[in-house]
Chain A
């Protein structure tokens, strides 16, 4: 559904992404990488926020900058998310509906559904300024899923969520991934382990691994000679990145 072809991105002299190629279909993809690995840059390129120096991002086999409908099909949660504190949560969601071009008649239903997904439906009438940091993060997830987007790019979605909300989020993602592409960028391997069938490991702007979660676990067995219990995704990730280091 969404693919990255030979993508390179440079800021000044520093090349952050090196000829990255990926292809993502329906399902949940976990984008794992250390701080500064290039996860956010890759996601921003995929959301069309950054123009790469080389390569392109394709959606339905067409470059996204030539495709008018791409942004309608995109749900995006940035790493740092905020809202206008003077508005109520409902008004803010309505603001986002308007930005997304969702018809007014459908907005109420879409907002209710999104807020229910993040367990904020009872807070709809409250001013954003009264919400906690975690609630704002959940509101960010809610705005991303407004309008039922086909592609969801979520950058650190669980940062700041309490354990119960993280669990709720994981369950939700399992629902969401059925008929859409969800790319979940995080350094919390447990979240990826819990929700994603596929994992992309990025390190130093290069893709180290891209494939099913089980294959990453196998890497742990092959490279580090993991014995005993079934290796976790974290074991696979660590054995992959430590080897590089």
Chain B
């Protein structure tokens, strides 16, 4: 105790340590105030914590490396180690005193963060225990263990490197940079320059093991309420390792003979164990620029592979029933039994996302051979059996399933789906909504520490029912109203009223375009609000309607939800026409209401026709690009691109306004383009629109 007090006195009396420490405490108070202010303005608690508290954590941690090192190295700087060691366990006592002093020093800001998070929880006013638990865990992992690990690293460097400050601060700088996104630039070089994906993976593997603050300084990734801050079990393993491993290195210095050797063995075992556990980390969110990063992994994967188009592919069989035993631990471990309706075929094709490693396919007569080719599994005949059991494990970077959260939407092939179907649509840049035409019977059991929410009836993570897609969500997720599932901490939660309003708007729209058959009884379906990450880097699955449920990212208002659902329906196969389609949906859903923009002035139809014709005749500027362009050609290209952009915006807006708002035949136009947008036509919209305008205006 006396040694501890003296050691603490040294820290507090040394201005090089105490003044920065008080400054850091003041900074934490300021950061907390800014965080609170940010939350008050935006209402987004995770964004506020991310900006003001989580991202700067590495700087606080680096400061504690400095504190740990400078407090410990004093014994070396002042030549005390030799005579301290001459006492019974002298060095152990002295280092223990430093250790407890450092823990005290770390405990003060950690307690401040902890208290602030409790305050923030009450301020947010969401009475949701998992959110409170998340904040407590956050304060322990990010603001307790991380600075403690920093202090331990500082101590270890003092014990091993002694007064070699150049080495110590070089290592500290390297360590700090590895905990930021600034190392993304050199780490991406192997892939971008040498196309070496393996080297990039290896570099990031090392970086990940040294990453103590999972949400790194410089990261532009958002934190989604269902997941919160990354705190998967592997993060705790890494944090505990970086506390204990340096500690063993310090202890090695304190002992001699057998104990020293034993401690070296312990530290080596600790390293092996942690690397072992780290290597089976499974599904984690990689939030940086690497190829495996969750928004980029699939676009890059599919871009690098030969293009395959399975539109219109017929499976030749359907799956009548699924019996699923899913275990969600570090990743998804699945045993899926499927019953097919056509057991006499010579061969079967299934789609299963390539991230899931298929271990075996069995019938009741035993294992059967299969061929795996990316997302597709090919089998021979079933020898009279009608059931197949797929055993697989793995992960998807985007649709994760781990100990922290589960987001497995029914349109994604995380379980075998009949036939071959694309997972990613290169043209539309998004996930293909992969739903079978008929429903199947699902019997599902999910083993997970989380409460899982599913579109099927059931409870206690066991579900049974019929659908054309099985969606599973867990994490900071809740049934916020009857049949409505959402992230309780999210601001824009869906309500029964907003869903009913969307239903009314859509019904009106479908009736106006002469498609009463397409009316969707939204209020009869379970509604799952998907995290906004679903919309990240994917244009196609913001809203997916399945036979018994809807999965949608944006659902705060009825108008917004209706717009999102209509966008998922009105989806031409032809490329381009984004603005025109967007305006079309706007006019379709607003009905007779006048928009302020629409009311401003009438469209100059003759000018519109001239612009339409000009655009029709304008060559695609992208086609004229080549590597050896002269300066004149470049200027001409830039001018053409600018004009192309101007015409695209102007013509889309004016054509939509004329055809769907001002025209006497606006209802017919709405119907015509609804049929066009929902058909499989690959025709461009512009000639169609030009012809409609010209037809109306006459010769």
Contacts and interface: CB of A to CB of B under 8 A. Distances in A.
A36 interface: no
A98 B93 CA distance: 9
B78 A84 contact: yes
A99 B86 CA distance: 10
Contact of B79 (A78, A86, A99, A101): A78
A16 to B, nearest CB: 16
A81 B14 contact: no
Given A51-B256, A95-B3, A143 B93 contact: no
A82 B93 contact: no
B365 interface: no
A51 B93 CA distance: 21
A80 B82 contact: yes
B540 to A, nearest CB: 64
A104 interface: yes
Nearest to B84: A99
B94 interface: yes
Interface in B79-137: 79-80, 82-88, 90, 93-94
B2 interface: yes
Interface string B1-43: 0110010011001100000000000000000000000000000
B9 A99 contact: no
Interface in B46-91: 74-75, 77-80, 82-88, 90
Contact of A91 (B9, B74, B83, B86): B9
Contacts of B257: 51, 65
A104 B94 CA distance: 17
A95 B2 contact: yes
B83 A86 contact: no
B74 A49 contact: no
Given A65-B257, A98-B93, A80 B79 contact: yes
A68 B87 CA distance: 10
Contacts of B75: 84
A204 to B, nearest CB: 24
Contacts of A85: 78
A112 interface: no
A87 B9 CA distance: 7
Contacts of B14: 86
Given A51-B257, A98-B3, A86 B13 contact: yes
B9 A82 contact: no
| Most central of A72, A77, A78, A94 by chain B CB within 10 Å | A78
A98 B82 CA distance: 16
Interface string A58-72: 000000010010011
B75 to A, nearest CB: 8
Given A77-B83, A78-B83, A86 B88 contact: no
Contact of B94 (A80, A81, A99): A99
Contacts of A84: 6, 10, 74-75, 78, 80
Contacts of B10: 84, 86-87
Interface string B661-699: 000000000000000000000000000000000000000
A76 B82 CA distance: 9
Given A80-B79, A99-B93, A91 B88 contact: no
A82 B84 CA distance: 11
B46 to A, nearest CB: 42
A99 B87 contact: yes
A211 B255 CA distance: 36
Contacts of A100: 87
Interface range on chain A: under 10, 10 to 19, 20 to 34, or 35 or more? 20 to 34
A49 B9 contact: no
A76 B83 contact: yes
Given A65-B257, A86-B9, A86-B14, A78 B82 contact: yes
Given A80-B82, A82-B80, A98-B93, A71 B88 contact: yes
A74 interface: yes
Nearest to A85: B78
Contacts of A83: 78, 80
A160 interface: no
B93 to A, nearest CB: 6
Nearest to B14: A86
Interface string B543-571: 00000000000000000000000000000
Contact of A76 (B86, B93, B256): B86
B88 A94 contact: no
A49 B2 contact: no
B259 to A, nearest CB: 11
Contacts of A77: 83
Nearest to B6: A95
Interface centre among B6, B78, B82 (most CB of A within 10 A): B82
A74 B3 contact: no
A48 interface: yes
Given A95-B2, A98-B3, A72 B88 contact: yes
A201 interface: no
A89 interface: no
A104 B2 contact: yes
Contacts of A101: 87-88
Given A83-B80, A86-B14, A94 B6 contact: yes
B3 A82 contact: no
Nearest to A70: B88
A193 B139 CA distance: 66
Contacts of B9: 86-87, 91
Contact of B6 (A78, A87, A140): A87
A115 interface: no
A156 B85 CA distance: 18
Contact of B88 (A68, A76, A97, A140): A68
Nearest to A68: B88
Contacts of B93: 98-99
A47 interface: yes
Contact of A143 (B3, B83, B256): B83
Interface in A133-169: 140, 143-144
A82 B86 contact: no
A155 to B, nearest CB: 9
A44 B80 CA distance: 14
A226 B674 CA distance: 125
11 contacts: A68-B88, A72-B88, A78-B83, A80-B82, A82-B78, A82-B80, A84-B75, A85-B78, A94-B2, A99-B93, A101-B87
Q: Which 5 pairs between the two chains have the least Cβ-Cβ distance?
A: A82-B78, A82-B79, A86-B13, A76-B86, A98-B2
Interface of B: 2-3, 6, 9-10, 13-14, 74-75, 77-80, 82-88, 90, 93-94, 256-257
Interface of A: 44, 47-49, 51, 65, 68, 71-72, 74, 76-78, 80-87, 91-92, 94-95, 97-101, 104, 140, 143-144
Given A85-B78, A99-B93, A101-B87, 6 more contacts: A76-B83, A77-B83, A84-B10, A87-B10, A92-B6, A100-B87
